[in-house]
């Protein structure tokens, strides 16, 4: 039986070694499972965070779509729309500046026309007064000059055709 003891001993040693290997292998597997579970949890958290960011991004895109009045799918499109609008606003401001300058020039022209019109009305009033008082026939102003002034006043609309004819008759009688 001496042979049996070493075999049993060998079997016992192998069984102990096998159990030790299984125990070591089992603890390594449990450690690997714990590590993979931790990584999975971390990735799940990252995925949840990215999902929340994606929702915020979608809300931002929707808000910008409403603000720009153009349906957009990404921030680059929003940026392009905003740049185009800024360029258009700048062009509008430049156009308004040019129009304001032109309006100022037209106002100056209108002021000078109003001033000239006021002078013509004064001249018309003076001519009417001179014709009515009979002093229009002085040597310094000829009848033809007075007729030319009356005709000019008629053409400018300062006097009516009836007034022109009446003043012309009065002038010719003198």
Is 149 within a domain?
Answer: yes
Is the pLDDT at 12 greater than 70? The verdict is no
137 in any annotated domain:
yes
Q: At what angle do helices 75-133 and 4-68 cross, to 10 degrees?
A: 10
Domain boundaries, position 73: 49-173
87 in Cβ contact with 95 (< 8 Å): no
Q: What is the separation of C-alpha 28 from the centre of its chain, rounded to a whole number of angstroms?
A: 66
Q: What percent of the chain has pLDDT over 70?
A: 78
Contacts 24+ apart (CB under 8 A), 34-38: none
Instruction: Give the model's pLDDT for residue 8.
Output: 65
Structural tokens at position 52: 């929340």
Range 91-107 average pLDDT: 79
Domain membership of residue 63 (yes or no) is: yes
1 — pLDDT class (breaks 50, 70, 90): very low
Residue 43 is assigned to a structural domain of this protein? no
In a domain, 161, yes or no: yes
CA distances from 22 to 9, 13, 27, 30, 159 (A): 20, 14, 8, 12, 126
Structural domain contains residue 121: yes
Number of separate domains in the chain:
1
Q: Is residue 131 packed enough to be buried (19+ CB in 10 Å), middle (13-18) or exposed (0-12)?
A: buried
Average pLDDT over residues 30-36: 82
120 occurs within a structural domain: yes
Residue 127: inside a domain, yes or no? yes
The confidence band for 23, taking pLDDT boundaries of 50, 70 and 90, is low
Contacts of 146 (CB under 8 A, 6+ apart): 127, 131, 136, 171
List of residues 6+ apart from 85 with CB closer than 8 A: 68
Q: Is the pLDDT of residue 81 over 60?
A: yes
């Amino acid at each position: 039986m001496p042979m049996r003891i070493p075999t049993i001993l060998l079997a016992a040693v192998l069984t102990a070694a096998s159990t030790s290997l299984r125990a070591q292998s089992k603890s390594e597997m449990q450690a690997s499972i714990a590590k993979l579970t931790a990584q999975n949890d971390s990735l799940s958290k990252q995925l949840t965070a990215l999902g929340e960011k994606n929702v915020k991004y979608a809300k931002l895109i929707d808000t910008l779509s409403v603000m720009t009045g153009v349906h957009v799918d990404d921030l680059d499109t929003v940026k392009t729309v905003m740049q185009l609008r800024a360029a258009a606003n700048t062009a509008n401001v430049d156009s308004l500046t040019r129009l304001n300058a032109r309006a100022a020039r037209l106002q100056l022209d209108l002021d000078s026309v109003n001033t000239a019109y006021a002078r013509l009305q004064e001249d018309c009033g003076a001519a009417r007064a001179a014709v009515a008082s009979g002093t229009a026939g002085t040597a310094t102003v000829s009848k033809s000059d007075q007729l030319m002034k009356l005709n000019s006043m008629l053409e400018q609309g300062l006097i009516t055709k009836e007034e022109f004819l009446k003043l012309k008759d009065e002038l010719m009688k003198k």
